[in-house]
Amino acid sequence: MQYRVKLFLFFVFFISNHFLAQTYKNANADIELRISDLISKMTLEEKIGQMQQLNLWQMNSKVIDTVAKGKVGSFLNAGNKQDKIKLQKAAVEKSRLGIPLIFGRDVIHGYKTVLPIPLGQASTWNPDLVKRGTEISAREAAEDGIHWTFAPMIDIARDPRWGRIAESCGEDPYLASIIGSAMVKGFQGNDLKSANTIAACAKHYVGYGAAEGGKDYNTTLIPERELRDVYLKPFHAVVKAGVATLMSAFNDLNGVPTTGNSFTLKTILRDEWKFDGFVVSDWTSVDELIKHGFAKDGKEAALKAVNAGVNMEMVSENYTKYLKQLVESGKISTQWIDELVAGILRIKFKLGLFENPYIRNFEESTILCKTNKAIAKEIATESVVMLQNKNQTLPLKTKSLKSLAIIGPLADAPKDQLGTWTLDGKAKNTITPLTAITKEFGETIKIKYVKAMATCRSNDTKYFQNAIDAVKQSDAALLFLGEDANLSGETHSRAFINLPGNQEDLITELSKLGKPLVLIIMAGRPLTFGNITDKVNSILYAWHPGTMGGEAISDIIFGKTSPSGKLPVTFPRTVGQVPIYYNHKNTGRPPSANQLGRTLGTPENPEGFASYYLDVDFTPAYYFGYGESYSSFNYSDLTLSKKNIDFNDTLKVSVTVANTGKYKAKETIQLYIRDLYASVTRPVKELKRFKKVEFIPGETKKINFELTSEDLKFYDINMQYNTEPGDFELFVGSSANDKDLLKTNFKLTGSKEE
């Protein structure tokens, strides 16, 4: 009997210890227990291995051996499916603890089904639609074994010279917060373990969009108040939305490079926001701490990046080379390494990689499927912004249109149409405007296509005559001009942002023929083209619209749908106005409406001493939030529930909007506020709410919004995030232009304590 008891106790002891020894492999165990268990079993070298991300330059036995030794935690650009399987097998089946790899890829605006560039997606002002776009992108990428995307990019971008403005959600922190959060939710879904989802990575943390001169990798100088009120807002929003990871930026922020900046990475991200995912450096940005002059060598770069809070080093290998020495010498604590590694493991557990490390088997592929293309087309359609439509030239009337000239190098440029950062999109899958228009109308309308320019940047006029002849013989002409894909994106900043090459000369020559001209601009940034707006009838700004852009543009041109895009960024009249953005400060001497077009600053005109350029109107070419429709909308009856509210009240705002035109159309109703006086100066306007609503002709709707004192917060004179009592203006309308807004006032009284 005694023997049996001992045997039973031994059996219980053995099973218990075996179970405890395998806690990190137990799918039903709490994630934090699994993390703690796994870290307790890891050597320092294995922990450092998790902190290393490599680019797969070439698949070979050396790479496999490195993975099998537990010296890699992640790969980006990890080859095809077979390569990923080989690498994952080495990690799961050959390494000591079997910790799976995470495979990352730049799925920036679509995978194989390419969506409009993010700046175009922000132009939809439709977060639900944007979310659907990232959902299909996640599923397509997951089918190829990708776990993690380096998106969304939510840098606030106020300088159109910056090539990476194409990847942004524009200039406004509220709009970027809403669109960025929608992207995160689309990528990640409700459960990262779902086969249809991938982890998102918000970038570039932080301030990268404010790089001096609009040049990549450059210095940023942002006062802390502006950093918190503007540039950090979208990042805080996506952290609250559950973003899995963040990427540190390339830039020097106020003298401290962001990849070594403990204030942003520790104090704000972890201590204040309680972020528990992980931060990956941008490509070799740990190495670049040396070139910044912030670190003497790779060892010091590793020390500063780790102590600041960068969990994983991308591509460069300073962590691999130096972290062990730094820990053993006491310069980095083991506890801090454990915390950083825990952040990485937490995401791997959340992704379900320990249970499903290999590429999932999907019953049916969704890559480039009919549904995905339909969503891509819908996003492209809503991203197009109509900037001008003189004499209601658009939509073109097919009944009276017998002949049509299609002119320009971007009418049939499938690769350029995809835009920047399309690693996996293929030109062969792109439907161009020429293809779409010819397919639908080629049998009823005589279509003449002339490229007119060898490339967008060409200065040669030898093909102009062919274009002139084609337009002469046609009832109307569509001009597809703008930027090719290589003129925007990383390291593609421009000192001049006019239409490239001799595009303006082409427009000028064609305008002499007296035919209706419709200009469709494809570009990755706002361009300046004021010299030619009077030479064309209509202007559609189509950004780089992706795989289905041709069909989307065709539908708008021929009136199957009305354009509904609104600008997420201000368009300057000239590059000399940059930076120009709607939510600027007022200054002590703001210009006034009666100073438009006047030469100022003379003794005879003392009232002209204002914040102004002598040689250009102070207004932009096109305001933030602007976009025309084939229909027309009337705003009236702006009403507040109260004129005086306290800190506990909800301010209810209503406005009546009527479709007074002949077309079914969508309108984005925008609500802005202005804090008229405060302990620190406040912007002239701040976007606080918006709704995109569809109207049938003649329909009137009452649109409702709600605001609370939380929506009025900012960082005050003492750098506290507070709402201050005072007087406010409230605006509702169709753009940030005063002329497009109804205005009223309200007062906030009392204090938070009441």
Active site residues: 282
Tell me phi and psi for residue 695, to 5 degrees.
Answer: -130, 140
Q: Which residues contact 636 (CB under 8 A, 6 or more apart)?
A: 655, 656, 658, 742
Identify whether the C-beta of residue 438 lies closer than 8 Å to the C-beta of residue 542.
no
Rounded to whole angstroms, the Cα distance separating 110 from 138 reads 8
Closest CA to 581 of 595, 567, 565: 567
Contact status, residue 152 vs residue 183, Cβ threshold 8 Å: yes
Closest CA to 691 of 301, 263, 178: 178
Q: How many CB atoms lie under 10 A from the CB of residue 633? A: 18
Residues 734, 672: Cα–Cα separation, whole Å: 11
CA 73 to chain centre: 27
Distance (Å, whole) CA 316 – CA 45: 17
Q: What is the DSSP letter of 94?
A: I
Q: In the block, which residue shows the tokens 């361009």?
A: 527
Count of other CB atoms within 10 angstroms of residue 624? 26
Cα–Cα distance for residue pair 491/122, rounded to 1 Å: 22
The residues with which 695 forms a beta bridge, in sequence order, are 665
Give the alpha-carbon dihedral of 425, 238, 671, 631, to 10 degrees: 20
Find out whether 282 and 312 touch, Cβ atoms under 8 Å: no
What is the three-class DSSP state of 705?
strand
Q: Tell me how far apart the alpha carbons of residues 112 and 154 are, in angstroms, rounded to a whole number.
A: 22
Backbone φ/ψ region at 501: left (φ over 0), alpha (ψ -120 to 50), beta: left
Interhelix angle 173-188/233-240, rounded to 10 degrees, is: 30
